[in-house]
Amino acid sequence: MTHQLPPLPYAFDALEPYIDTLTMQIHHGKHHAAYIANLNKAIAGTPFEEMPINELLARINEVPEEIRTAVRNNGGGHSNHTLFWAIMAPNAGGAPTGALASAIDATFGSFETFKEKLTAAAINRFGSGWAWLIVKPGGALEVISTPNQDSPIMTGDTPILGIDVWEHAYYLKYQNRRPEYVANFFNVINWAQVAANFAAAQR
Ligand code: MN
């Protein structure tokens, strides 16, 4: 089994006006596809070829040194983007409900404070990377950011929401205005999926 590009779960123009159509086409069809092609090339003929992507990332330190950087960058890119497409949706945004809303309130004090923390993590990540809402092994929520395509899975955490702050995620529409992209990103967050990810991470 080699890794394959998952279809986008909505149309390329579905996230307009917040995320533009051309960005979605290039991001999914070129960037994500390239991570997968390069991952498949790196693991071809190795015992890691059949391993599910998130298990591969959790066991990144067992990957032979000569392919570890390629697996880290491209395997991270594959996993991160697979999550990313799913936690966005048209007619989304707003605020979470249910157990996730309660956990966010208990952890951060309020949804607004959480939003400020995630926004700061996204804006302050220097260069390319991601801002995340993760579940720690003990079940606690935390906002973090990672450089490049590093996944929280590589350090034993479970990402349930991620904002891609690589320039390829926003430059065509927002140019250097990352804060505006991040502010608008909250209009496309699929909280039902994030809540499902949260529930899965508790098990
Ligand atoms: Mn990306």
d(CA 182, CA 195): 20
Q: Are 103 and 109 in contact (CB under 8 A)?
A: no
pTM: 0.97
Ligand 1: centre distance to CA 132 (Å): 14
d(CA 63, CA 112): 40
Residue 129 falls in which region: left (phi positive, over 0), alpha (psi -120 to 50) or beta: left
Ligand 1: centre distance to CA 122 (Å): 13
Q: Are 178 and 170 in contact (CB under 8 A)?
A: yes
Tokens at residue 7, please? 């279809």
Provide the residue-wise pLDDT of the chain in tens; the chain has 203 residues. 599 999 999 999 999 999 999 999 999 999 999 999 999 999 999 999 999 999 999 999 999 999 999 999 999 999 999 999 999 999 999 999 999 999 999 999 999 999 999 999 999 999 999 999 999 999 999 999 999 999 999 999 999 999 999 999 999 999 999 999 999 999 999 999 999 999 999 87
Torsions phi, psi of 163, nearest 5?
A: -110, 120
Ligand 1: centre distance to CA 81 (Å): 6
Ligand 1: centre distance to CA 106 (Å): 31
Q: Are 118 and 133 in contact (CB under 8 A)?
A: yes
Ligand 1: centre distance to CA 24 (Å): 10
